[in-house]
Chains A and B, each alone.
Chain A
Amino acid sequence: MTNPETHITDYRVYGWVLFSLLVLTTLTITATWIDLSAFTVLIALVIASTKSFIVLRYFMHLKFESRIFTVFVVMVLSIYTLVIILTFFDYLER
Protein backbone atom coordinates (compact mmCIF):
# COMPACT_ATOMS: atom_id res chain seq x y z
CA MET A 1 0.00 0.00 0.00
CA THR A 2 1.58 3.27 -1.03
CA ASN A 3 2.17 5.56 1.89
CA PRO A 4 1.56 9.17 0.88
CA GLU A 5 2.80 10.29 4.26
CA THR A 6 6.48 10.22 3.44
CA HIS A 7 6.97 13.76 4.65
CA ILE A 8 9.43 13.80 7.54
CA THR A 9 9.03 16.80 9.81
CA ASP A 10 12.28 18.32 10.99
CA TYR A 11 12.97 18.29 14.76
CA ARG A 12 13.32 22.06 14.74
CA VAL A 13 9.77 22.53 13.50
CA TYR A 14 8.53 20.67 16.57
CA GLY A 15 10.82 22.82 18.69
CA TRP A 16 9.23 25.99 17.33
CA VAL A 17 5.74 24.55 17.75
CA LEU A 18 6.51 23.79 21.40
CA PHE A 19 7.89 27.29 21.88
CA SER A 20 4.76 28.93 20.50
CA LEU A 21 2.56 26.67 22.66
CA LEU A 22 4.51 27.72 25.75
CA VAL A 23 4.18 31.39 24.76
CA LEU A 24 0.42 30.95 24.39
CA THR A 25 0.27 29.23 27.77
CA THR A 26 2.03 32.20 29.34
CA LEU A 27 -0.42 34.48 27.57
CA THR A 28 -3.40 32.57 28.97
CA ILE A 29 -2.09 32.88 32.50
CA THR A 30 -1.32 36.57 32.30
CA ALA A 31 -4.64 37.26 30.59
CA THR A 32 -6.56 35.68 33.45
CA TRP A 33 -4.93 38.07 35.90
CA ILE A 34 -6.86 40.85 34.22
CA ASP A 35 -10.43 40.51 35.36
CA LEU A 36 -12.94 41.18 32.63
CA SER A 37 -15.33 38.46 33.92
CA ALA A 38 -17.10 36.97 30.90
CA PHE A 39 -14.58 38.35 28.45
CA THR A 40 -11.71 36.67 30.31
CA VAL A 41 -13.32 33.25 29.74
CA LEU A 42 -13.65 34.06 26.06
CA ILE A 43 -9.99 35.01 25.79
CA ALA A 44 -8.96 31.83 27.62
CA LEU A 45 -11.06 29.73 25.28
CA VAL A 46 -9.75 31.51 22.18
CA ILE A 47 -6.16 30.92 23.28
CA ALA A 48 -6.91 27.27 24.16
CA SER A 49 -8.50 26.81 20.74
CA THR A 50 -5.45 28.34 19.06
CA LYS A 51 -3.21 25.92 20.96
CA SER A 52 -5.42 23.03 19.90
CA PHE A 53 -5.28 24.18 16.30
CA ILE A 54 -1.48 24.18 16.44
CA VAL A 55 -1.39 20.73 18.07
CA LEU A 56 -3.82 19.34 15.48
CA ARG A 57 -2.02 20.85 12.51
CA TYR A 58 1.60 20.13 13.42
CA PHE A 59 1.89 17.55 16.19
CA MET A 60 -1.01 15.48 14.92
CA HIS A 61 0.24 16.02 11.38
CA LEU A 62 -3.02 17.23 9.81
CA LYS A 63 -1.06 19.62 7.63
CA PHE A 64 0.64 16.71 5.90
CA GLU A 65 -2.19 14.21 5.88
CA SER A 66 -4.74 13.76 3.11
CA ARG A 67 -7.13 16.67 3.20
CA ILE A 68 -10.07 14.43 4.07
CA PHE A 69 -8.68 14.07 7.61
CA THR A 70 -8.95 17.80 8.14
CA VAL A 71 -12.46 17.73 6.71
CA PHE A 72 -13.46 15.07 9.24
CA VAL A 73 -11.94 16.99 12.16
CA VAL A 74 -13.72 20.19 11.12
CA MET A 75 -17.00 18.27 10.77
CA VAL A 76 -16.76 16.73 14.24
CA LEU A 77 -15.84 20.03 15.88
CA SER A 78 -18.69 21.74 14.03
CA ILE A 79 -21.18 19.15 15.26
CA TYR A 80 -19.91 19.59 18.79
CA THR A 81 -20.13 23.38 18.57
CA LEU A 82 -23.68 23.01 17.30
CA VAL A 83 -24.54 20.85 20.31
CA ILE A 84 -23.19 23.52 22.65
CA ILE A 85 -25.13 26.27 20.91
CA LEU A 86 -28.38 24.29 20.89
CA THR A 87 -27.97 23.36 24.55
CA PHE A 88 -27.50 26.98 25.50
CA PHE A 89 -30.52 28.04 23.42
CA ASP A 90 -32.54 25.72 25.58
CA TYR A 91 -30.85 26.39 28.90
CA LEU A 92 -30.91 30.17 28.62
CA GLU A 93 -34.65 30.18 27.96
CA ARG A 94 -35.54 28.27 31.12
Chain B
Amino acid sequence: MELHRDDEGARLGMWIFIFTEILLFGGLFLVYAVMRNRYSDEFHQAAHQLNAFIGTLNTVVLLVSSATVAMSITAVQKGEKRKGVLFLLITLICAGIFLFNKYLEWGHKIYIGLYPGSPLMIGLKHGYILFFSLYFFMTGLHLLHLVVGSIILTIVLVKVQFHMIHEGKYVLLENGGLYWHLVDMIWIFLFPLFYLIT
Protein backbone atom coordinates (compact mmCIF):
# COMPACT_ATOMS: atom_id res chain seq x y z
CA MET B 1 0.00 0.00 0.00
CA GLU B 2 1.46 3.30 -1.10
CA LEU B 3 2.17 5.93 1.51
CA HIS B 4 -0.01 9.01 1.06
CA ARG B 5 1.87 11.91 -0.43
CA ASP B 6 0.76 15.49 -0.87
CA ASP B 7 3.43 17.48 -2.64
CA GLU B 8 1.31 20.58 -2.97
CA GLY B 9 0.54 20.41 0.73
CA ALA B 10 4.23 20.03 1.47
CA ARG B 11 5.00 23.14 -0.58
CA LEU B 12 2.18 25.01 1.13
CA GLY B 13 3.73 24.12 4.48
CA MET B 14 7.02 25.66 3.42
CA TRP B 15 5.23 28.76 2.15
CA ILE B 16 3.49 29.19 5.52
CA PHE B 17 6.86 28.98 7.21
CA ILE B 18 8.22 31.53 4.74
CA PHE B 19 5.36 33.86 5.71
CA THR B 20 6.52 33.74 9.32
CA GLU B 21 10.04 34.56 8.19
CA ILE B 22 8.76 37.50 6.14
CA LEU B 23 7.06 38.86 9.24
CA LEU B 24 10.20 38.27 11.32
CA PHE B 25 12.51 40.19 9.03
CA GLY B 26 9.71 42.57 8.21
CA GLY B 27 9.55 43.61 11.85
CA LEU B 28 13.27 44.30 11.82
CA PHE B 29 13.00 46.31 8.63
CA LEU B 30 10.27 48.34 10.32
CA VAL B 31 12.61 49.14 13.21
CA TYR B 32 15.19 50.15 10.64
CA ALA B 33 12.68 52.39 8.86
CA VAL B 34 11.67 54.23 12.03
CA MET B 35 15.23 54.64 13.30
CA ARG B 36 16.47 55.78 9.94
CA ASN B 37 13.74 58.35 9.78
CA ARG B 38 14.79 59.63 13.20
CA TYR B 39 18.56 59.60 12.68
CA SER B 40 18.84 60.03 8.92
CA ASP B 41 22.11 61.98 8.96
CA GLU B 42 23.86 59.58 11.29
CA PHE B 43 22.65 56.55 9.32
CA HIS B 44 23.91 58.20 6.17
CA GLN B 45 27.32 58.82 7.75
CA ALA B 46 27.60 55.43 9.42
CA ALA B 47 26.89 53.64 6.14
CA HIS B 48 30.27 54.86 4.87
CA GLN B 49 31.82 52.22 7.09
CA LEU B 50 30.27 49.51 4.93
CA ASN B 51 31.96 48.26 1.80
CA ALA B 52 29.54 48.62 -1.10
CA PHE B 53 31.76 46.54 -3.36
CA ILE B 54 31.62 43.49 -1.11
CA GLY B 55 27.90 44.10 -0.67
CA THR B 56 27.41 44.12 -4.44
CA LEU B 57 29.52 41.00 -4.83
CA ASN B 58 27.41 39.24 -2.22
CA THR B 59 24.22 40.32 -3.98
CA VAL B 60 25.43 38.93 -7.31
CA VAL B 61 26.59 35.70 -5.67
CA LEU B 62 23.21 35.12 -4.02
CA LEU B 63 21.27 35.90 -7.20
CA VAL B 64 23.39 33.36 -9.09
CA SER B 65 22.87 30.80 -6.34
CA SER B 66 19.09 31.28 -6.60
CA ALA B 67 19.27 30.66 -10.34
CA THR B 68 21.34 27.52 -9.89
CA VAL B 69 19.09 26.01 -7.24
CA ALA B 70 16.11 26.62 -9.53
CA MET B 71 18.02 24.97 -12.35
CA SER B 72 18.77 21.98 -10.17
CA ILE B 73 15.03 21.44 -9.81
CA THR B 74 14.61 21.46 -13.59
CA ALA B 75 17.48 18.97 -13.87
CA VAL B 76 15.95 16.56 -11.35
CA GLN B 77 12.53 16.91 -12.99
CA LYS B 78 14.13 15.88 -16.27
CA GLY B 79 15.92 12.98 -14.64
CA GLU B 80 19.32 14.59 -15.24
CA LYS B 81 20.84 13.61 -11.91
CA ARG B 82 24.41 14.74 -12.59
CA LYS B 83 23.30 18.22 -13.64
CA GLY B 84 21.07 18.42 -10.58
CA VAL B 85 23.95 17.64 -8.28
CA LEU B 86 26.23 20.04 -10.16
CA PHE B 87 23.79 22.95 -9.89
CA LEU B 88 23.32 22.29 -6.18
CA LEU B 89 27.08 22.21 -5.76
CA ILE B 90 27.41 25.61 -7.46
CA THR B 91 24.69 26.93 -5.16
CA LEU B 92 26.63 25.77 -2.12
CA ILE B 93 29.86 27.23 -3.46
CA CYS B 94 28.07 30.56 -3.85
CA ALA B 95 26.92 30.28 -0.26
CA GLY B 96 30.51 29.66 0.73
CA ILE B 97 31.67 32.76 -1.11
CA PHE B 98 29.01 34.83 0.65
CA LEU B 99 30.08 33.38 3.98
CA PHE B 100 33.72 34.18 3.27
CA ASN B 101 32.87 37.75 2.30
CA LYS B 102 30.94 38.20 5.53
CA TYR B 103 33.92 36.87 7.43
CA LEU B 104 36.09 39.54 5.78
CA GLU B 105 33.59 42.30 6.47
CA TRP B 106 32.83 41.47 10.06
CA GLY B 107 36.42 40.49 10.74
CA HIS B 108 37.58 43.92 9.66
CA LYS B 109 34.97 45.68 11.75
CA ILE B 110 35.80 43.67 14.83
CA TYR B 111 39.49 44.35 14.20
CA ILE B 112 38.95 48.10 14.20
CA GLY B 113 36.83 47.80 17.32
CA LEU B 114 33.49 48.38 15.70
CA TYR B 115 31.15 45.74 17.14
CA PRO B 116 28.12 45.78 19.44
CA GLY B 117 29.12 46.72 22.96
CA SER B 118 32.69 47.68 22.11
CA PRO B 119 34.29 50.69 23.86
CA LEU B 120 34.47 52.47 20.51
CA MET B 121 30.83 51.76 19.75
CA ILE B 122 29.59 52.91 23.14
CA GLY B 123 31.33 56.23 22.66
CA LEU B 124 29.56 56.95 19.39
CA LYS B 125 26.47 59.04 18.86
CA HIS B 126 23.14 57.30 19.34
CA GLY B 127 22.26 57.19 15.65
CA TYR B 128 25.55 55.47 14.82
CA ILE B 129 25.03 52.86 17.52
CA LEU B 130 21.55 52.15 16.17
CA PHE B 131 22.80 51.76 12.62
CA PHE B 132 25.52 49.32 13.57
CA SER B 133 23.29 47.37 15.96
CA LEU B 134 20.75 46.93 13.20
CA TYR B 135 23.48 46.09 10.72
CA PHE B 136 25.04 43.37 12.86
CA PHE B 137 21.73 41.96 14.01
CA MET B 138 19.99 41.88 10.65
CA THR B 139 22.93 40.69 8.57
CA GLY B 140 23.75 38.23 11.35
CA LEU B 141 20.24 36.80 11.43
CA HIS B 142 20.32 36.62 7.63
CA LEU B 143 23.66 34.83 7.82
CA LEU B 144 22.17 32.31 10.24
CA HIS B 145 19.40 31.63 7.74
CA LEU B 146 21.98 31.27 5.02
CA VAL B 147 23.89 28.68 7.05
CA VAL B 148 20.70 26.74 7.82
CA GLY B 149 19.74 26.89 4.15
CA SER B 150 23.16 25.59 3.19
CA ILE B 151 22.82 22.66 5.55
CA ILE B 152 19.41 21.84 4.12
CA LEU B 153 20.69 22.04 0.55
CA THR B 154 23.69 19.87 1.42
CA ILE B 155 21.33 17.19 2.71
CA VAL B 156 19.26 17.59 -0.45
CA LEU B 157 22.39 17.29 -2.60
CA VAL B 158 23.33 14.01 -0.92
CA LYS B 159 19.79 12.72 -1.38
CA VAL B 160 19.82 13.60 -5.07
CA GLN B 161 23.18 11.88 -5.47
CA PHE B 162 21.87 8.70 -3.82
CA HIS B 163 18.63 8.80 -5.81
CA MET B 164 16.49 9.41 -2.73
CA ILE B 165 15.30 12.53 -4.55
CA HIS B 166 14.45 11.88 -8.19
CA GLU B 167 12.00 12.86 -10.93
CA GLY B 168 9.19 10.98 -9.23
CA LYS B 169 9.73 12.54 -5.83
CA TYR B 170 11.46 15.88 -5.45
CA VAL B 171 9.35 18.05 -3.18
CA LEU B 172 12.19 18.18 -0.63
CA LEU B 173 14.38 19.80 -3.25
CA GLU B 174 11.62 22.27 -4.13
CA ASN B 175 11.15 23.21 -0.48
CA GLY B 176 14.89 23.59 0.03
CA GLY B 177 14.89 25.83 -3.02
CA LEU B 178 12.01 27.91 -1.68
CA TYR B 179 13.87 28.48 1.59
CA TRP B 180 16.96 29.47 -0.35
CA HIS B 181 15.02 32.01 -2.41
CA LEU B 182 13.75 33.51 0.82
CA VAL B 183 17.36 33.97 1.96
CA ASP B 184 18.07 35.64 -1.37
CA MET B 185 15.03 37.93 -1.14
CA ILE B 186 15.93 39.15 2.35
CA TRP B 187 19.35 40.12 1.07
CA ILE B 188 17.76 41.89 -1.92
CA PHE B 189 16.30 44.33 0.63
CA LEU B 190 19.19 44.37 3.10
CA PHE B 191 21.70 45.35 0.44
CA PRO B 192 20.30 48.72 -0.70
CA LEU B 193 19.11 49.72 2.76
CA PHE B 194 22.47 49.25 4.46
CA TYR B 195 25.10 49.47 1.74
CA LEU B 196 23.69 52.02 -0.68
CA ILE B 197 22.54 54.84 1.56
CA THR B 198 25.70 56.91 1.21
Contacts and interface: CB of A to CB of B under 8 A. Distances in A.
Q: Does B associate with A?
A: yes
A14 B12 contact: no
A44 B181 CA distance: 20
A77 B67 contact: no
Contacts of A14: 67, 70-71, 74
Nearest to B6: A1
Contacts of B60: 22, 25
Interface string A1-21: 101110011110011011001
B45 to A, nearest CB: 14
Contact of A84 (B19, B30, B196): B30
B34 A91 contact: yes
Contacts of A1: 4-8
Interface of A: 1, 3-5, 8-11, 14-15, 17-18, 21-22, 25, 28-29, 32, 41, 44-45, 47-48, 51-52, 55-56, 58-61, 65-66, 69, 72-73, 76-77, 80, 83-84, 87-88, 91
Interface of B: 4-8, 11-12, 15, 19, 22-23, 26, 30, 33-34, 37, 52, 56, 59-60, 63-64, 66-67, 70-71, 73-74, 77-78, 174, 177-178, 181, 184-185, 188-189, 191-193, 196-198
